[in-house]
Amino acid sequence: MSGYLTPKKKVWVADLVAKKAHGEKWAMLTAYDYATARTFAAAGIECLLVGDSAANVVYGYETTNHISLDEMAYLGAAVVRGAGNALVVIDLPFGTYEASDEQCVRTATELVRRTGANMVKLEGGSRIAPRIRALKQAGLAVCAHVGFTPQSVDNLSGFKVQGRDDSADQLRADTEAVTEAGADMAVFEMVPADLATELTAACPAPVIGIGAGAGTDAQVLVWHDMADFPAGDHRARFVQRFGSIGADLAAAAADYKRAVHTGQFPAPEHTF
Ligand code: KIV
């Protein structure tokens, strides 16, 4: 692992708040298992998200709404074991926190206890502010998620940019509500860049953007998108590919198959 940039000491929320104060950008990536968590932490990624996007890219469900608490907990525990000094955030799955503050706190404490994650994330703006307040009172660190919220894809009538024109004021109100409720960080998903920049400047908590332009404090991508490991046919406009893991893995598998079929593998040096 020489030459790697593993954060030298544990990353805390306060470190990310300090980075915001100094105008220093930082990076978040999703992770769903031990090996990728180790790799991303070793690359110096400050923050790992055990996203409920695992529903799509790990479990092959059509939407994030199918993933269960158990399915999240097993992945989260593996990520935390590999995360080193990176701060680990985990999503509260759909259906496990909306009904009441009590349900939300019960779910979040169970998830943190079972995984060791540092922070929980939940989707929604003003409507979810009471849940954020309850989580803070229970002593948990909380990340809000506003703008496009995938768990509400049906309610939002599809994958759409949020906060355009008339709905900009709703996004302003949502950001203010989650901040006042005590959110330690906020994700802005699919928000016009100028609005995201305005709200990031007004928000005391670090803001992480995905499809929200360059004016947020940090960026997050689903790692399969970042490294081009396709788990479906759709590619969002906000994604940039920084690798070609899918093609590399397919080529490695084809080479392996050829070597087995031709008897070239295993060679004498692989044999006891
Ligand atoms: O689940 C996830 O991966 C997310 C990111 C897209 C922010 O919530």
Q: What is the residue-wise DSSP string for 12-38?
A: -HHHHHHHHHTT--EEEEE--SHHHHH
Give the Cα-Cα-Cα angle 55, 57, 58 (nearest 5 degrees).
70
Q: What is the residue-wise DSSP string for 150-203?
A: GGGTTTTTSS---S-GGGHHHHHHHHHHHHHTT-SEEEEES--HHHHHHHHHH-
Q: Per-residue pLDDT tens for 138-172?
A: 999 999 999 999 999 999 999 999 999 889 999 99
Residue-level pLDDT at 233: 78
pLDDT less than 70: residues of the chain? 1-6
> What tokens were used for 51?
């996203």
Q: Report pTM.
A: 0.96
Residue-level pLDDT at 1: 44
Which atom number of ligand 1 is nearest to the Cα of residue 53? Answer: 1
Q: Per-residue pLDDT tens for 94-120?
A: 999 999 999 999 999 999 999 999 999
Query: Of the residues 149, 153, 220, 239, which should be mutated to test ligand 1's pocket, given the most ligand atoms within 8 Å of the CB?
Result: 220
Q: What is the DSSP-derived secondary structure letter of residue 64?
A: G
Amino acid identity for residue 87 in this structure: L
Using a 6 Å CB cutoff, which residues line ligand 1?
Answer: 30, 49, 51-53, 91, 145, 187, 189, 210, 220, 222
Contact 74, 33 (CB under 8 A): no
